[in-house]
A and B are shown apart, each in its own frame.
Chain A
Amino acid sequence: MNMHNIWFIMKREFNGYFATPVAYVFIVIFLLLAGFATFFVGNFFDRGEADLYPFFSMHPWLYILLIPAISMRLWAEERKSGSIELLMTLPVSVFEAVIGKFFAAWAFTGLALILNFPLWITVNYLGSPDNGVIFASFLGSLLMAGGFLAIGACISSTTKNQVIAFVVSVVVSLVFVLAGYGIVLDFFSSWAPRVLVDVISSFSFLTHYDAISKGVIDMRDMLYFVSLIAIWLFANAMIVNARKAD
């Protein structure tokens, strides 16, 4: 694994977001939606508490829609334009390319997340929140975003069509989020053995994100997201290897 190569691929990909209006449109929409969710759905003011829980707790739902928009181009565009042939005949391994691209998308998401800082300033101005909790929540949200991105990147490598990549990623993300939700679990608990219900529930983003969004960092939750990212990126590399020339 050549770190330089990962860095160069990441840099190119990251700059690629800003070469078109995509990056700016995305960031503006992300900030608008995040603000809307925090104030109107999360009732930021009415709660009367100096924390960013209403902000962070909305992130799984925001990410379902927005993260696939970031990840959809990663491989689908390379395959469509044929530049994948160029990339894969440079002295770069598939894993370096997969990881470089993933980090680029992740860094971009992190940037969009950081740009919500006025909210953090607001809450510090209005009260005295626990900034440790906010920082932990930020890391947790970023980690979860990585999970969504890894799913999206992998799905992007299965198609040349960005729209398909987007739609399928949204659906798969939704499944991962909803797996911890009562409706889904009820559907299974009526007939499936308890073990299976627990397994399904334990795969949910919500189950693992809930504690983090309150600022509780549990190694198991971290491990869950890290291994989720690793597994999806591994699948991503396998798919690129097998289907790059199709």
Chain B
Amino acid sequence: MTLRIEIEDLAKHFGEIKAVDGVTFSVSKGEVLGFLGPNGAGKSTTMKMITGFLTPTRGTVRVCGHDVLTDPISVKASIGYLPEGAPAYADMTPEGFLKFIADVRGLRGSDKKRAVASAAERARITHVMFQPIETLSKGYKRRVGLAQAILHNPPVLIMDEPTDGLDPNQKYEVRTLINEMAEDKAIIISTHILEEVHAMCSRNVLIARGKVEFDGTPHELEALSRYHNAVCVSVGGVETEALSRFAESLDEVAGSEPLNFNNGIRIFPKDGKQITLELSERIRSNGWQIESLYVENGRLDEVFRTLTTRSGDAA
């Protein structure tokens, strides 16, 4: 495991507003870090500090061993960055734009040609290479931004909401692309689309009000949900109430609630434990016929809400 991005006690204050307030985490090669948080939590500000666009109020950022304050050019050279909204030079064509990026990234001659061609192909923009960027659809503009970010095959990739505003097919393509590149890069992706946590990320950092509220795997994030390992069960010919009474009398069960789509109930285990097997055996030994039974993984939207709105200020 090689550390590629190290962030320590990073903060950015705009006057009285603490946009980012003491954020610490690191990303290694091979990791795709999903950077979660509500709008205005400080995701973009953090990314702008990592990429050297904003100067931190305090704290340090190191990318591939280079400090962003003392050696910003080396940091910028090792990062591919897709800023929020994928800004580009609207009056250029993707071809001219990518060539300009390649020039500034120090690619020359056949290396440059190859880099531009391969980035265009991976971002699937080869057939719009000669149209002005301003005439392209939102999806294509995003892909041009993506091509620009991966052009120089950077060891570190930072993308601010890469799938925002794309249709489901385009989202799928972008996720596939990111998964393809994950192996030999350290990647940070900010998003507030929770389904992407599973689709792309190997780790999540969730921030709210400028502070890190969670740092762990997507599975650990789900485990924070009260629905984690909850069992939904319905039994033929048994009333909901009778079923609840029975379930709640068991030792390993913390509580239950009726389901609103059939006459079954959702059973919450104590301490989030896996209780499916015991439960089904007990129901059967009670002489009941199980109609359906399944385990929930946990609900990310619920965890997200809990983590980002706790401690009084439910904004």
Q: Spell out A's residues near B (CB within 8 Å).
A: 4-5, 8-9, 11-12, 15-16, 19-20, 81-83, 85-86, 88-93, 244-245
Q: Spell out B's residues near A (CB within 8 Å).
A: 48, 51-54, 73-74, 76-77, 79, 81, 83, 85, 87-92, 96, 100-101, 103-106, 132, 148
Bound CA span A86–B51, Å:
10
Bound CA span A185–B86, Å:
51
Closest Cβ of chain B: how far from A129's Cβ, in Å?
41
Bound CA span A8–B51, Å:
21
Interface of A is mostly: helix
Bound CA span A139–B217, Å:
65
Contact in complex: A16, B53 (CB < 8 Å):
no
Closest Cβ of chain A: how far from B90's Cβ, in Å?
6
What chain B residues lie within 8 Å of A19 (beta carbons)? 91-92, 132
The verdict on A86 contacting B104 (CB below 8 Å), with A93-B73, A245-B53 known, is: no
A sample of 24 inter-chain contacts (CB < 8 A) reads A8-B103, A8-B104, A12-B100, A16-B89, A16-B92, A19-B92, A19-B132, A20-B91, A82-B83, A82-B87, A83-B88, A83-B89, A85-B48, A85-B53, A85-B87, A86-B81, A86-B83, A88-B52, A89-B53, A90-B76, A91-B73, A91-B104, A92-B73, A245-B53
What chain B residues lie within 8 Å of A9 (beta carbons)? 104
Contact in complex: A81, B87 (CB < 8 Å):
yes
Contact in complex: B81, A89 (CB < 8 Å):
yes
Contact in complex: B83, A90 (CB < 8 Å):
no
How many residue pairs between the two chains, A and B, have CB atoms under 8 Å in the bound complex? 66
Bound CA span A244–B55, Å:
11
Q: Name the 8 nearest CB pairs between A and B, nearest first.
A: A82-B87, A19-B91, A91-B77, A8-B103, A91-B76, A85-B83, A89-B51, A83-B87
**Residue of B at shortest CB range from A100?**
B104
What chain A residues lie within 8 Å of B87 (beta carbons)? 81-83, 85-86
What chain A residues lie within 8 Å of B51 (beta carbons)? 89
Closest Cβ of chain B: how far from A227's Cβ, in Å?
28
Contact in complex: A90, B101 (CB < 8 Å):
yes
Bound CA span A20–B91, Å:
7
Of the candidates B48, B83, B88, B96, which one forms a contact with A15 in the assembled complex, judged by CB atoms under 8 Å apart? B96
Please give 19 more A-B residue pairs, beta carbons under 8 A apart, in addition to A81-B89, A245-B48: A9-B104, A11-B100, A12-B92, A15-B96, A19-B132, A20-B91, A81-B87, A82-B83, A83-B89, A85-B83, A86-B81, A86-B88, A86-B148, A89-B81, A90-B105, A91-B105, A92-B73, A92-B76, A92-B104
Contact in complex: B104, A89 (CB < 8 Å):
no
What chain B residues lie within 8 Å of A11 (beta carbons)? 100
**Residue of B at shortest CB range from A241?**
B55
What chain A residues lie within 8 Å of B77 (beta carbons)? 91
Bound CA span A88–B54, Å:
10
Closest Cβ of chain A: how far from B112's Cβ, in Å?
11
What chain B residues lie within 8 Å of A90 (beta carbons)? 76, 101, 104-105
Closest Cβ of chain B: how far from A105's Cβ, in Å?
16
What chain A residues lie within 8 Å of B148 (beta carbons)? 86
**Residue of B at shortest CB range from A92?**
B104
Closest Cβ of chain B: how far from A95's Cβ, in Å?
12
Bound CA span A7–B90, Å:
20
